[in-house]
Amino acid sequence: MSASKPTHPNADVRMKGFAQRTTVDAALAWLDSVLPPLTNLPTEELGLYEIAGRVLARDLTSQVNVPGFARSMMDGFALQGEATYGATSYNPLPLQIIGTCLPGTPFPRQVLRGEAVRIMTGAPLPAGTDAVLPVEMSDLDGETLRVLEPVSSGKHVGQIGEDIRSGDVVQPAGRVLRPQDIGVLSSIGIGRVEVVRRPRVRVLITGNELLAAGTLPAGYQIADANGPMLAALVARDGGQPILSDIVRDDPAAIGDALYADADVVLVSGGSSVGQEDHVPRLLAAEGELAIHGVAMRPSSPAGMGRLENRLVFLLPGNPVSCLCAYDFFAGRAIRALGGRSSDWPYRRVRVRLSRKLVSTVGRVDYARVIVRGDEAEPLAVSGASVLSSTTRADGFIIVPADSEGQPPGAEVEVFLYQ
């Protein structure tokens, strides 16, 4: 640890409390100011079977026309459209069938007036023809086709470049690749694609009182709820979670763990101003503690900063605070570092409050609600440690810092958990 480094004014706030808290807006502004643009993100090249849901790093341009040749869109007969003008069931036009045209094989000779070629969907149109007559508009008399209705030139023919033109940008940088996008890439002969590398996110769980995730709590020990929750959130946001054993509330151990081989370090626990809360001081001493203490509830002891090239998020150990601080700050950064929209992935609904929602002026509130029909009911039990409040809830409402809350019947926007 370098003792000479200038430290954050709040560097050692243990047992003194927060002097003042940063506003949510100021914390987000700092975060956005340090997030790189899409063009500066690290990339990797992957094959078509590995890129579903990944983010395209560069514009992709087609080098070919699709289709690359005029092709039949129906099973029927290739002929000259113009020659069929005037054909009716009372006065059918007879044409000589001179062969069959199948997909993948060109027809060997020019088709003349008075001739037609049996053709299958996807087959190249023979030279001398410009339209396809569907089977149901004809009947057969041996090898003579009788045209019962006219077809115009170009009818039932897929024209060169009709789907994709050579030189077109088929997918722009930043595109989150959907299955059909991958099909299109394949169709223009692109087999490997440069995508944004998924940010590597070290999930660092601290706390002497914690048992490994999924362990039955015993005595005064509690099971780690945040590790698996954060891993799922990171994966949802396009990051690659890196997990390891729980780290004790020991400055040396936490200090080492902060230097993870990762783009982002999420530290759960020890972020506040208690005696065992070492993380703020460590980050301030080793790197930059840009924000510590945010005017919001829950999650007021959240913080963030940088350590060399890593973004570090201090997430309070209380599970609801941990979830909320992740969603406000860390998730935004992970999505942006993976080239995704930094917006919340939550669907929004507008509903009315079934009862009053109280809030304190000067801080942002993250209020969990149950949605019933077109009404939202704020949860009564909503302490930061009551994680089941977030599973009982369908979503949350953000009450802005300048609001005292909302009366019953007020229209509110609910972000639905997913």
Residues that bind ligand AMP (CB under 6 A): 205, 207, 209-210, 222, 224-226, 268-272, 274, 316-319, 385
Which one of 180-188, 207-215, 232-240, 250-258 is the stretch in contact with Mg ion (CB under 5 A)? 207-215
Q: How far is the CB of 192 from ligand AMP (least distance, A)?
A: 40
Q: Closest CB to ligand AMP among 189 and 214?
A: 214
d(CA 191, CA 329): 36
Q: Closest CB to Mg ion among 76 and 270?
A: 270
Q: Which does 336 bind (CB under 5 to 8 A by kind): Mg ion, ligand AMP, none?
A: none
Q: Are 75 and 119 in contact (CB under 8 A)?
A: yes
Q: How far is the CB of 312 from ligand AMP (least distance, A)?
A: 15
Q: Does 126 bind Mg ion (CB under 5 A)?
A: no
Q: Closest CB to Mg ion among 269 and 338?
A: 269
d(CA 394, CA 390): 8
Q: What angle do CA 282, 284, 288 make, to 5 degrees?
A: 125
Q: Closest CB to ligand AMP among 271 and 382?
A: 271
Q: What angle do CA 109, 112, 113 make, to 5 degrees?
A: 165
308-337: contacts with Mg ion (CB under 5 A) = 317
Q: Closest CB to ligand AMP among 144 and 385?
A: 385
d(CA 115, CA 129): 9
Q: How far is the CB of 207 from ligand AMP (least distance, A)?
A: 4
d(CA 151, CA 141): 20
d(CA 281, CA 286): 9
Please count the other Cβ atoms lying within 10 Å of the Cβ belonging to residue 254: 20
DSSP letters of 357-409? EE--TTSEEEEEEEEETTEEEE-S---TT-THHHHH-SEEEEEPTT--EE-TT
List, in sequence order, every residue forming a beta bridge with 141; answer none if it has no partner.
144
Which one of 191-199, 262-270, 286-294, 399-407 is the stretch in contact with Mg ion (CB under 5 A)? 262-270
Q: How far is the CB of 381 from Mg ion (least distance, A)?
A: 22
> Using CB atoms within 10 A of its CB, is residue 250 exposed (0-12), middle (13-18) or buried (19+)?
middle
Q: Which of 269, 280, 316, 395 binds Mg ion (CB under 5 A)?
A: 269
Q: Which does 224 bind (CB under 5 to 8 A by kind): Mg ion, ligand AMP, none?
A: ligand AMP
Which one of 107-115, 268-276, 348-356, 376-384 is the stretch in contact with Mg ion (CB under 5 A)? 268-276
Q: For the chain, give me the number of helices (H) and strands (E)? A: 8, 28
Q: Which two tokens stand for residue 200?
A: 């590597």
Q: Which does 274 bind (CB under 5 to 8 A by kind): ligand AMP, Mg ion, none?
A: ligand AMP
Q: Does 207 bind Mg ion (CB under 5 A)?
A: yes
Q: Closest CB to ligand AMP among 153 and 385?
A: 385
Q: How far is the CB of 37 from Mg ion (least distance, A)?
A: 36
- Candidates 395, 383, 413, 246; CA nearest to 319 is 383
Q: Closest CB to ligand AMP among 14 and 146?
A: 14
Q: Does 301 bind Mg ion (CB under 5 A)?
A: no
Q: Contact residues for Mg ion (CB under 5 A)?
A: 207, 269-270, 317
